[in-house]
Amino acid sequence: MKRRWLTLLAVICTVALLTAGCAQKAPDTKPTDKAQTGDQSWNKIKEKGEFVIGLDDNYPPAGFRDKAGELVGFDIDLAKEAAKRLGVKAVFKPVQWDGVLLNLKSGEIDLIWNALGITPERQKEIGFTDSYMADRNIIVVKAGSPIKSKADLAGKTVGLQLGSTAEPAVTKDEISSKLKEIRKFESPTVALMDLDAGRIDAVVTNEMNARYLVTTEKTADKYYILTEQEGDFGKEPFGVGVRLEDKTFLAELNRVLNEMKADGTAAKISNEWFGSNIIK
C-alpha cells in the first residue's frame, strides 16, 4: 500500500512539474502582421504597376489641358519621368483642389503633384518629398491700377484660389484686416477673369502660375505683376505630397527626384517650360 502511495505521489509531482513548466513557457515572440510586414506602401504601388496623382487640371503651367484637350504641364512631365524611373505608370486624376488632401487620405489618389506648397499646416496632415523648387505668392493687378504696393490693397477686394497657399498667406498677413473682401475662386484663371471684368481689384497666386497666364495667354498688356520690392506674400517651397504613413513610397520618390536633379533631367524639363532652370 505504501508503495502504491509513493507511486501515486510521484505521478502527481510529475504532473505538477509539467504544468508549472507549461505555465512558465516563454511568451510567443512571433511579430504581429504589422511589425512583420512594415510599411508596404511602395510594394503596393509596385503591385498595382501605377500611382494615381491628384491634381487641378486648370493650373498652368503645373498641369492643364492644351488646345487638343491633352493633359500637359511642368509637373506632369516631372511625374511621368519619375514614374518611368520607378518602373510604374503615372495616372492623373483631376480633383477639386480644396478637397485634394481628403482625396489623398481616403485613398482615392496615391500622391499630389501639382505646384503643392509645403506649409506647416499641410505637414501636419500629409508627408512631403524634399522641395524641388521654390516660388512666391505674388499680387496681380490690371495695367494702370492705382495699386502699386501691398499696402495699397487696403480697402480693396482680393481674389485667390480656394484651398491654395495664397489663402493662408493673405489671411495671416497684417494687410488682411484692412481688405474690403477676400473672394475665393475655383482657379486663378477664373479669378483673373473677374479681375479683367473689374469685379475684384487684385489676384494673389504663385508667380509660376501668374507669369504663365500673363505671358503665354498674351495678356501682358492687361495685367501687371508687382515686383518683390513692391510687395508679395512670401516664398513657398513646392513638394510632392503623400500620406503620412507611406514612408517607403516617399523614400522612393525622393530617390528618383534626387537622381533627376543630379543627372540634369529635371533642369532640362524646367528649361523646356520656363527657358531657365528653376529647380532647387
Ranking 27-36, 159-168, 194-203, 226-235 by mean pLDDT, the lowest is: 27-36
Contact 169, 233 (CB under 8 A): yes
Please check whether residues 110 and 164 belong to one and the same domain.
no
Query: 31: which DSSP letter?
Result: P
Residue 28 pLDDT > 80, yes or no? no
150 in any annotated domain? yes
Question: What CATH number should be reported for the domain holding residue 58?
Answer: 3.40.190.10
Residue 264 pLDDT > 70, yes or no? yes
Contact 110, 42 (CB under 8 A): no
Residue 184 pLDDT > 60, yes or no? yes
Q: Which residue has the cell 494702370?
A: 144
For residue 61, say if its preceding peptide bond is cis, omega within 30 degrees of 0: yes
Q: What is the distance between the alpha carbons of residues 181 and 21, in angstroms, rounded to a whole number? A: 77
Q: What is the distance between the alpha carbons of residues 38 and 105, in angstroms, rounded to a whole number? A: 19
Query: 67: which DSSP letter?
Result: T
Residue 164 burial class via C-beta count within 10 angstroms: exposed 0-12, middle 13-18, buried 19 and up: buried
Please check whether residues 183 and 248 belong to one and the same domain.
no
C-alpha angle with apex 138: 257 to 241, nearest 5 degrees?
30
Q: What is the distance between the alpha carbons of residues 138 and 126, in angstroms, rounded to a whole number? A: 25
Please check whether residues 48 and 127 belong to one and the same domain.
yes
Q: Which residue has the cell 503623400?
A: 242
β-bridge pairing 58-59 and 63-65:
antiparallel
17 in any annotated domain? no
Q: What residues make up the domain containing 106?
A: 39-132+239-274
26 in any annotated domain? no
12 in any annotated domain? no
Count CB-CB contacts under 10 A for residue 203: 31
**C-alpha count within 13 angstroms, C-beta hemisphere, residue 169:** 28
The pLDDT of residue 5 is 39
24 in any annotated domain? no
Average pLDDT rounded to a whole number, residues 160-178: 94
Q: What is the distance between the alpha carbons of residues 191 and 179, in angstroms, rounded to a whole number? A: 17
Contact 127, 242 (CB under 8 A): yes
Please check whether residues 256 and 227 belong to one and the same domain.
no
Query: Quick one: CA dihedral 263, 264, 265, 266, positive or negative?
Result: positive
Q: How far is CA 249 from the centre of its chain?
A: 14
* % of the chain at pLDDT higher than 90: 76
Ranking 7-21, 72-86, 209-223 by mean pLDDT, the lowest is: 7-21
